[in-house]
Each structure stands twice: as C-alpha cells, then as structure tokens.
Structure 1
Amino acid sequence: MIEVNFYDEVDDFLLEFAVIISKSNGKWVFCKHKERDTFEVPGGHRETGEKIEDTAVRELKEETGAVDFNIKPVCVYSVKGKTRVNENAAKESFGMLYAAEIFSFEEIHSEIEKIVLSDDLIRQWTYPLIQPKLISEAKKRGYL
C-alpha cells in the first residue's frame, strides 16, 4: 500500500526529491525514460549540498530540455510504502512539488528517451499510485 500525504512545509533536510508538473502551450509534459515503457512527470533526487529549488530546475532542464520556463513551488509531499526507489515500506520519503510552464525546449541529453506533449493525462504511468495524486493536489491548490 502506498500512502501519499501533503504538507505546506517540513524541515528542509527531509526533502529528498523534486517533482515538477509541467505544461507547455496548454499541453501536459511527460517524460519517457530510456529503460522503461511508461511515462512520468519530470523530477529526481536532490544532490548533496543542493538547494531543493536548484534540484527542481536541474531536473526540469535535464529531463525535458526546457530552456525558457517559469517554475514555482506548490507544496511538500511524502510517500510511504514500497516503491521502485524505496525498498523500505515503513520509510516516509519527502519531496517538494513544483509547477512549471515551459516556453521553449532544446535537445535532451539525459536518461530520458523523449518527452511527450499531450492534451490529456497519460494512462501508462511509471508511478500510477503517486503522480496522479500529485497532479490532483496541484490542481486543488490552483497551480494547474
């Protein structure tokens, strides 16, 4: 069982991930990793000594090729339960959720095979029990 919770803030040292729900010209932006057949929104792990805002900007650029964009924080989220990146089902992992509008892209040079722009939310999620809930929360808070 996966549990997703939302917070206005937590101690910065708890934030391990940044996830960026993105749109471009009114279309959703999804990433397809080279090693998977599923899709996800851009995001990733925070590097040692990195500000979480810098993680979000870096991951957005790396995973989508975004060069001109606006990005803003939405809220903190947590995931508890066994996932692809967390083997310990009892551990609660925290991340910062962002919303971005991307105005222009360049070629991607990362583990991402391609990005897909879509009028509708995709159905083949890499994290089907997590990312749709993040999008729903961002909508509820008025960011999308």
Structure 2
Amino acid sequence: MVKVNFCELNTVEDNKLAFAVIMTKFNGQWLYVRHKDRNTWEIPGGHREENENINDTASRELFEETGATKFKLTPICTYSVERDETVDYTESFGQLFYSEVEAVDSLLHFEISEIKLFEEIPDNLTYPLIQPFLYKKVLEFLKEL
C-alpha cells in the first residue's frame, strides 16, 4: 500500500527534500513526459543534486524533461510517500510545484523521448498510486487563486 502525505511549505527541513515534481501547463493543457525507458506518462520532475536549491532543481528538471525555456514556477507544498511493504523504508520528501510554460525548445536533449499535452491526467501513468494525488493537490491550489 502507498500513502501520499502533504505538508505545508517550509515545514520539512530543506535537506530532506530529495526531489522536485512540477505539474505543468502549456497552451492550456497539462504537459506529461515519457521517459525513453518506459511506455507510461509522468509528471516532469527529478532528484535534487548535491548542494542544489530545491527551486533550482525544479527549474533544471523542467528544462531537461520538457525543453521549457520560458516559464513561471510556483511552489505548492511538500509531500512524502509511505510504502507499507518496505520494512526498512525511510520516508523521502519532495516538493510539488506548479508551472505555466510559455515557450519550449523543440528538441529533447536528455532522458525524455516524448512530451504530450492532455486535457486531464492520462490513464497510463508511471506512478499511478502517487501522481493522481499530486494532480488533485494542484487542482485544489488553482481553485484557491
């Protein structure tokens, strides 16, 4: 079983934030990516590099995975994923962002083989037990604007 927990920004120690995930809109639609080693869709994001600011992680990953060259980035919250089946599991934290992309480079330079726009969250997800919760959290955030 997997459980996604949400925390407000700045309530988890910065050094515990291991990754950034960016729910991204481009031309009014949700942008998802397909890794070259998978056939499923995922939200752009990735692991934080050593001594990297988490906001810089989000910007770097958004560019690397989508080719986004002009965008606004908004931190939403911190989240963690709990897995019951893992005895020695250490809770890992990520920061969830929302981005509106205005321009993208047409060439994909890194590990992503395809980007695609969707009206809603796609069915064929890489992390189907996690990504729908992140999507819902961003929708709630957008309603409050």
The TM-score with structure 1 as length reference comes to 0.92
TM-superposition CA deviations, 1:9-46 (whole Å, max 9, x none): 31101100100000011111000000000000100000
Contact 1:6/1:77, CA 8 A, preserved across alignment:
yes
Q: Distance in 2 between matches of 1:89 and 1:3?
A: 16
Equivalent AA in structure 1 for residue 54 of structure 2 = I
The TM-score with structure 2 as length reference comes to 0.91
Tell me which residue corresponds to 1:13: 15
Pairwise mapping of residues 10-49 of structure 1 onto structure 2 (< 5 A)? 10-49=12-51
* 1:69 counterpart = 2:71: yes
Identity of aligned pairs, percent? 46
Tell me which residue corresponds to 2:81: 79
Tell me which residue corresponds to 2:97: 98
Structure 1: 5+ residue stretches without partners = none
Tell me which residue corresponds to 1:50: 52
Equivalent AA in structure 1 for residue 123 of structure 2 = R
Contact 1:82/1:89, CA 8 A, preserved across alignment:
no
Equivalent AA in structure 2 for residue 119 of structure 1 = E
Equivalent AA in structure 1 for residue 95 of structure 2 = M
Q: Distance in 2 between matches of 1:78 and 1:123?
A: 22
Contact 1:31/1:116, CA 8 A, preserved across alignment:
yes
Runs of 4 or more off by more than 4 Å in structure 1?
A: none
Equivalent AA in structure 2 for residue 91 of structure 1 = T
Aligned pairs, number: 141
Contact 1:74/1:99, CA 8 A, preserved across alignment:
yes
Contact 1:21/1:98, CA 8 A, preserved across alignment:
yes
Equivalent AA in structure 1 for residue 108 of structure 2 = I
Q: Distance in 1 between matches of 2:111 and 2:87?
A: 25
Tell me which residue corresponds to 1:114: 114
Contact 2:121/2:135, CA 8 A, preserved across alignment:
no
Structure 2: 5+ residue stretches without partners = none
Contact 1:81/1:91, CA 8 A, preserved across alignment:
no
Q: Distance in 2 between matches of 1:69 and 1:88?
A: 40
